[in-house]
């Protein structure tokens, strides 16, 4: 009896030079452990990858059929206390939201099978915020550098957008609110009569279209929130329709730790998109590799000098980072700049302590250290809140 890979999940992080996320842990849910035991599955985790392996006799197909329909769920955690500091992620471990990854939607970019949906294609009629991602019609990902009102930009404007390649990142659209047995849901507009419909996943097409519960409440005065109970329902993702308005909630009895990044759900059904199926039409292994990719944070870079002898901070590279004065002895990048593990070595400063100023005594000090993720804070600039990373100079 041998084992073969049924599927692999790799977690990438573009802060690191090798793009491999660090200190990632994978834990099957209690229900998943039961399914794996019954189906002859095991998990192995090495570095940034989760491997799910299965018993086989011929290396062509599983020794016993996979459950149909079937679901394998794994919590993904970070063992790195700085994870959220260097990541461009719209949540933190203390929030009630977690990321939700699944193989029910096709999201292939440059041959990579992502477990999170693709970014929307840029639309000049929409507003965008700092750190948001969009795709070009050609499939290139771009990161927004400034808040943009509708009709004020194009992807070709380097002062507004940073092109990062044919990739897709985890972002706000891939998060869900995780809740216990009871959750409070907004009622908008406020109403004295509230109808709640709870839809679960349909085992056939995996859509949230199976009505599990429906109830109407009548109050003496309009209410703006409604409590919804999941009592008697299995754990999972649900669509709550409140007076015709849909909200998503993931119900779990598990208490999520602060280092929990999210939940990975792999469906064994043959109704998932073809590229995301675990077996082919004949029941033989496809052994797909699924990917979760995260972006590094892009703060403003700021250098704070000790004296006024530092006249400017600049980038030696042509077309590089532009700096501007930002208060007494401070120099700040005009636009956000990605933090990366491999340090950038083209930042320099101009030093001149002569008084009166003598240009002939100017000294250029090169290869300055670059800001890191541990000295981050928030600064307001041009009516926009930016993360900012500082470094203090001994000049």
Find the range with the poorest average confidence among 85-89, 121-125, 252-256, 348-352. 252-256
| DSSP H or E run through 338 | none
Residue 93 has pLDDT above 60, yes or no: no
Percent of the chain predicted with pLDDT > 70: 99
**Mean pLDDT, range 172-179, rounded to an integer:** 91
Cis upstream peptide for 218 (omega within 30°):
no
In whole angstroms, how far apart are CA 203 and each of 235, 247, 269?
Answer: 14, 20, 8
- Whole-number pLDDT of residue 94: 60
Question: For residue range 196-227, what is the model confidence (pLDDT) as tens digits?
Answer: 999 999 988 899 999 999 999 999 999 999 99
**Helix, strand, or coil (residue 103):** coil
Does residue 303 contact residue 333 with C-beta atoms inside 8 Å? no
Of 53-62, 67-76, 385-394, the least confident: 53-62
DSSP 8-state class, residue 68: S
Query: How far is 391 from 333, CA to CA, in rounded Å?
Result: 12
Dist CA 291 CA 284 (whole Å): 22
Q: For residue 361, give the 3-state DSSP assignment.
A: helix
Q: Residue 306: what pLDDT?
A: 94
Across the range 174-196, mean pLDDT stands at: 94
pLDDT digits (tens, 9 = 90+) for 283-332: 899 999 999 999 999 999 999 999 999 999 999 999 899 999 998 999 99
CATH T-level fold of 181-251: Immunoglobulin-like (2.60.40)
| pLDDT digit string, tens, across residues 102-116 | 999 889 999 999 999
Q: Would you tell me how many other CB atoms lie within 10 Å of the CB of residue 350?
A: 14
pLDDT of residue 267 exceeding 80: yes
Q: What number of other Cβ atoms are within 10 A of residue 342's Cβ?
A: 10
Task: For CA atoms 279, 280, 283, 286, give the dihedral sign.
Answer: negative
How confident is the prediction for the chain on average, in pLDDT? 92
Q: By three-state DSSP, how is residue 174 classified?
A: helix
Domain boundaries defined on the chain? 2-107+255-294, 181-251, 300-392
- Verdict on whether the full-model pTM lies above 0.85: yes
pLDDT at residue 97, rounded to an integer: 87
Residue 59 has pLDDT above 70, yes or no: yes
Q: Is there a cis peptide before residue 69, judged by omega within 30 degrees of 0? A: yes
Q: What is the mean pLDDT of residues 9-21?
A: 97
SS3 for 303? strand
Proportion of the chain above pLDDT 90, given as a percent:
78
Residues sharing a CB contact under 8 Å with residue 291, sequence separation 6 or more, in sequence order:
9, 10, 11, 12, 112, 113, 114, 115
E strand or H helix that includes residue 30:
helix 30-39
Q: Give the least confident one: 61-75, 289-303, 359-373.
A: 61-75
How far from 141 is each of 144, 169, 242, 386, CA to CA, in Å?
Answer: 10, 9, 35, 21
CB 295 within 8 A of CB 87: yes
Average pLDDT of the residues in 167-182: 92
**What's the pLDDT at 382?**
81
pLDDT at 191 over 90: yes
Report how far residue 395's alpha carbon sits from residue 385's, in angstroms, rounded to the nearest whole number.
29
Could you tell me which residues come within 8 angstroms of residue 347 by beta carbon, excluding any fewer than 6 positions away?
Answer: 303, 313, 314, 315, 316, 321, 367, 368, 370
CA atoms within 13 A on the CB side of 46: 4
Residue 92 has a pLDDT of: 59
């Amino acid at each position: 009896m041998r084992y073969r890979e049924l599927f692999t999940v790799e977690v990438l992080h573009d802060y690191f030079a090798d793009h491999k996320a660090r200190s990632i842990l994978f834990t099957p849910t209690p229900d998943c452990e039961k399914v794996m035991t019954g189906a002859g599955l095991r998990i192995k985790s090495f570095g940034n990858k989760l491997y799910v392996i299965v018993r086989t006799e011929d290396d062509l197909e599983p020794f016993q059929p996979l459950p149909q329909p079937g679901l394998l769920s794994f919590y993904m955690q970070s063992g790195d206390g700085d994870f959220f500091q260097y990541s461009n992620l719209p949540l933190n471990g203390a929030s009630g939201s977690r990321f939700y990854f699944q193989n029910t939607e096709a999201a292939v970019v440059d041959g990579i099978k992502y477990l999170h949906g693709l970014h929307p294609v840029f639309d000049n009629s929409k507003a965008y915020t700092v750190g948001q991602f969009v795709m070009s019609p050609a499939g290139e990902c771009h990161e927004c550098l400034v808040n943009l009102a509708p009709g004020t930009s194009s992807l070709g404007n380097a002062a507004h957008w940073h092109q990062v390649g044919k990739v897709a990142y985890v972002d706000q659209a891939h998060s869900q609110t995780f809740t216990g047995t009871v959750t409070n849901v907004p009622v908008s507009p406020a109403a004295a009569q509230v109808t709640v419909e709870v839809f679960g996943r349909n085992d056939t097409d995996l859509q949230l279209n199976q009505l599990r519960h429906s109830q109407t409440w009548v109050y003496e005065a309009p209410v703006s929130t409604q409590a919804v109970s999941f009592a008697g329902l299995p754990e999972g993702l649900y669509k709550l329709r409140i007076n015709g308005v849909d909200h998503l909630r993931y119900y779990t009895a598990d208490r999520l730790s602060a280092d929990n990044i999210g939940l990975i759900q792999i469906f064994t059904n043959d109704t998932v998109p073809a590229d995301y199926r675990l077996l082919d039409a004949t029941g033989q292994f496809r052994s797909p590799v699924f990917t979760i990719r995260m972006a590094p944070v892009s703060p403003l870079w700021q250098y704070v000098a000790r004296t006024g002898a530092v006249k400017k901070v600049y980038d030696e590279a042509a077309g590089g980072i532009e700096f501007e004065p930002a208060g007494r002895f401070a120099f700040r990048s005009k636009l956000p700049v990605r933090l990366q593990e491999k340090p950038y070595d083209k930042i320099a400063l101009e030093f001149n302590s002569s008084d009166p100023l003598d240009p002939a005594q100017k000294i250029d000090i090169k290869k300055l250290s670059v800001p890191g993720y541990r000295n981050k804070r928030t600064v307001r600039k041009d009516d926009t809140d930016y993360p900012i990373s500082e470094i203090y100079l001994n000049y």
